[in-house]
């Protein structure tokens, strides 16, 4: 993560000279590490760009007819930064032998354009192509409700050109393959694993991401070491002998003990998380300091 921040975002700390990275000139960032269902760790990160406009300013300027050049520049930047389909590579014969290759089979920097294009093509095809699974229909209640992928990835989600909604300012990027998760080619080349990227530039998108982040961070689980300490204190207290306890009080104590054990047994903690904590790795990365909001 530190290499990602330094080399790809090219952010070297507050007060340092700003450099243009893979996404532009970064002025701030905040990322949280979490474990997914299989236990592997990954990071959700928000990145602010230097000189960026707030969502309302972007919407107003995009919708003004005299500012067409701004809209065109913004869409050109987004199309250049965010890829929404598998990059073309014409050498199909060599691709057939590599269609099952692992994303990490290519190592190091390759200055040959043809090989690099082939590498990005294979990477995107392997890492960014969505394949529907039971997780996609996790919240589907069955007929007559339409069966839609909850990640909004579908063969029908194709947009031949990038557009801006004249009412809301909502930006819809050009997408030639509805089953490709959006990615940045430079970042994908470097991290060599699946990624996702989204531009937050309009009112609806900003509100949706704000709701998602707020909901996400407020449902965080009780940290296991805190839960264990709380359970130890509770059990020590409950096991203290009191001659005045009646059967009802003893049953209540046993019930509390069962609740405490049940709470701990449902704490999800992967081996990767344990290793991360033991090795004193960070669980979040930030360029700024923030106050807690309760």
CB atoms inside a 10 Å sphere around CB 184: 19
Q: What is the DSSP letter of 7?
A: I
Backbone angles phi, psi at 215, to 5 degrees: -65, -35
| Cα distance between residue 259 and residue 90, in whole Å | 61
Residue 128 is encoded by which pair of tokens? 């960014």
pLDDT in tens, 216-259: 666 656 566 666 777 777 777 766 767 777 788 777 877 777 77
The residue whose two tokens read 């996400």 is 216
Peptide bond into 144 cis (omega under 30): yes
For the segment 13-41, the average pLDDT, to the nearest whole number, is 84
CB atoms inside a 10 Å sphere around CB 205: 17
Q: What are 180's strand-pairing partners?
A: 129
- Cβ atoms 165, 63 nearer than 8 A: no
pLDDT in tens, 127-166: 999 988 888 888 888 888 888 888 888 888 898 999 888 7
- Stretch (H or E) spanning 37: none
pLDDT in tens, 78-91: 999 999 999 887 66
pLDDT at residue 62, rounded to an integer: 57
Q: What are 20's strand-pairing partners?
A: 25
Those residues with Cβ within 8 angstroms of residue 231's Cβ, 6 or more apart along the chain or in another chain: 260, 261, 263, 264
pLDDT in tens, 108-131: 655 677 788 888 888 899 999 998
pLDDT at residue 95, rounded to an integer: 53
- Cβ atoms 115, 207 nearer than 8 A: no
Answer whether residue 9 shows pLDDT above 90. Answer: yes
């Amino acid at each position: 993560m530190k290499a990602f921040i330094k080399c790809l975002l090219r952010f070297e700390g507050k007060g340092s000279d700003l450099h243009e990275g893979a996404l532009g000139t970064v002025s701030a960032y905040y990322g949280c590490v979490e474990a997914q269902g299989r236990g592997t760790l990954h990071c959700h990160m928000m990145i602010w760009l230097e000189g960026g406009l707030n969502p309302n300013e972007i919407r107003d300027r995009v919708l003004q007819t005299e500012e067409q050049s701004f809209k065109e520049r913004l869409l050109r930047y987004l199309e250049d930064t965010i890829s929404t389909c598998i990059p073309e590579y014409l050498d199909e014969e060599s691709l057939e032998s590599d269609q099952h290759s692992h994303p990490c089979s290519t190592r190091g920097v390759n200055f040959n354009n043809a090989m690099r294009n082939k590498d990005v093509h294979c990477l995107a095809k392997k890492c960014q192509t969505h394949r529907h699974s039971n997780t996609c229909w996790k919240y589907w209640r069955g007929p007559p409700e339409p069966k839609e992928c909850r990640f909004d990835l579908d063969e029908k989600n194709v947009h031949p050109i990038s557009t801006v909604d004249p009412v809301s300012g909502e930006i819809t990027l050009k997408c030639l393959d509805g089953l490709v998760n959006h990615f940045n080619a430079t970042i994908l080349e470097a991290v060599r694993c699946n990624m996702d990227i989204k531009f937050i530039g309009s009112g609806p998108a900003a509100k949706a991401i704000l709701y998602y982040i707020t909901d996400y961070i407020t449902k965080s689980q009780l940290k296991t070491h805190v839960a264990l300490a709380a359970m130890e204190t509770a059990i020590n207290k409950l096991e203290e002998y009191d001659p005045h306890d009646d059967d009802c009080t003893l049953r209540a104590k046993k019930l509390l003990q069962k609740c405490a054990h049940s709470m701990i047994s449902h704490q999800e903690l992967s081996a990767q998380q344990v290793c991360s904590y033991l090795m004193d790795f960070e669980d979040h990365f930030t360029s700024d300091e923030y106050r807690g909001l309760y």
